Amino acid sequence: MEFVRSHILVCAGTGCSAAKSMEIIERFEEHLSRHALEKEAKVIRTGCFGLCELGPIVVVYPEGSFYSRVTPDDVKRIVEEHILKGRIVKDLLYHETVEEDVVSSINETGFYKKQLRIALRNCGIIDPENIDEYIAFDGYSALARALTEQTGDEIVDIITKSGLRGRGGAGFPTGRKWMFAKAAAGDEKYVACNADEGDPGAFMDRSILEGDPHSVIEAMIIAGYAVGAKNGIIYIRAEYPIAVARLEVAIGQAREYGFLGKNIFGTDFEFDLEIRLGAGAFVCGEETALIASVEGLRGEPRPRPPFPAVKGIFGKPTLLNNVETYANIPWILQNGWEAMAEIGTETSKGTKVFALGGKITNTGLVEIAMGTTLREIVEEIGGGCPGGKKFKAAQTGGPSGGCIPASHLDTPIDYESLSAIGSMMGSGGLIVMDEDNCMVDIAKYFLDFTVEESCGKCVPCRIGTRRMYQMLERITEGKATMEELDSLKELCEHIKANSLCALGGSAPNPVLSTITHFREEYEAHVRDRRCPAGVCKKLLTYKILDNCRGCTACARVCPVGAISGKVKELHVIDQDKCIKCDACFEKCKFGSIIKE
Partner 1 sequence: MKSLEELKAIRERTRGQMNLRKEDGPDNTRIVVGMATCGIAAGAKPVLSAAVDQVGRRKLDHVVVTQTGCIGMCMYEPIVEIYVPGQEKVTYVKMTPERMEKIVAEHIVNGQIVGEYTIGANE
Footprint of partner 1 (CB under 8 A): 1-7, 9, 36, 39-40, 61-64, 84-87, 105, 107, 125-126, 132-133, 135-138, 140-141, 144, 148, 257-259, 263-266
Q: How far is the CB of 257 from partner 1 (least distance, A)?
A: 5
The residues, ordered by sequence, that sit 6+ positions from 566 with a Cβ below 8 Å of its Cβ are 550
* Comparison of 144 and 463: residue with beta carbon closer to partner 1: 144
Could you tell me the smallest distance in angstroms from the CB atom of residue 196 to partner 1?
Answer: 30
With CA atoms as reference, report the closest residue to 178 among 331, 341, 309, 314: 309
**Phi and psi (nearest 5°) for 194?**
-90, 100
Residues in a beta bridge with 564: 572
Q: Give dist(CA 553, CA 583) in Å, integer.
A: 10
Q: Is the dihedral of CA 141, 142, 143, 147 positive or negative?
A: positive
To the nearest whole angstrom, how small is the minimum distance from the Cβ of residue 315 to partner 1? 33
CB 401 within 8 A of CB 395: yes
Give the residue from 269, 234, 268 showing the smallest Cα distance to 251: 234
For residue 527, give the H/E element and its range.
Answer: none
Distances, alpha carbon 423 to alpha carbons 376, 401, 506, 508, in Å: 18, 5, 10, 11
Q: How far is CA 96 from the centre of its chain?
A: 24
> How far are the Cα atoms of 245, 541, 544, 558 from residue 549, in angstroms, in the given order?
59, 20, 10, 17
* C-alpha–C-alpha distance, residues 169 and 102, integer Å: 42
Q: Is the dihedral of CA 566, 567, 568, 570 positive or negative?
A: positive
Q: Among residues 4 and 409, whose Cβ is nearest to partner 1?
A: 4
Closest to partner 1 by CB, 87 or 556: 87
Q: In the bound complex, what is the minimum distance in angstroms from residue 256's beta carbon to partner 1?
A: 9
Least Cβ distance, residue 243 to partner 1 (angstroms): 23
**Least distance to partner 1, CB of residue 185, Å:** 31
Nearer to partner 1, 6 or 160 (CB): 6
- In the complex, the smallest distance separating the C-beta of residue 132 from partner 1, rounded to whole angstroms, is 4
Least separation in angstroms between CB 85 and partner 1: 5
Closer to partner 1 by CB, 5 or 566: give it: 5
Specify the residue, 261 or 456, whose C-beta has the smaller distance to partner 1: 261
Q: Return the number of the residue (155 or 378) whose C-beta is nearest partner 1.
A: 155
Q: Residue 369: which H helix or E strand, with range?
A: strand 364-369
User: Which of 266, 561 has the CB closer to partner 1?
Assistant: 266
Q: Is 109 or 454 the residue whose CB approaches partner 1 more closely?
A: 109
* Smallest distance, partner 1 to C-beta of residue 37, A: 9
Sign of CA dihedral 80, 81, 85, 88: negative
CB of 126 or CB of 533, closer to partner 1: 126
Write the burial class of residue 408 (CB in 10 Å: 0-12 exposed, 13-18 middle, 19+ buried).
buried
| Min dist. Cβ of residue 140 to partner 1 (A) | 6
**Secondary structure class of 276 (helix, strand, coil):** strand
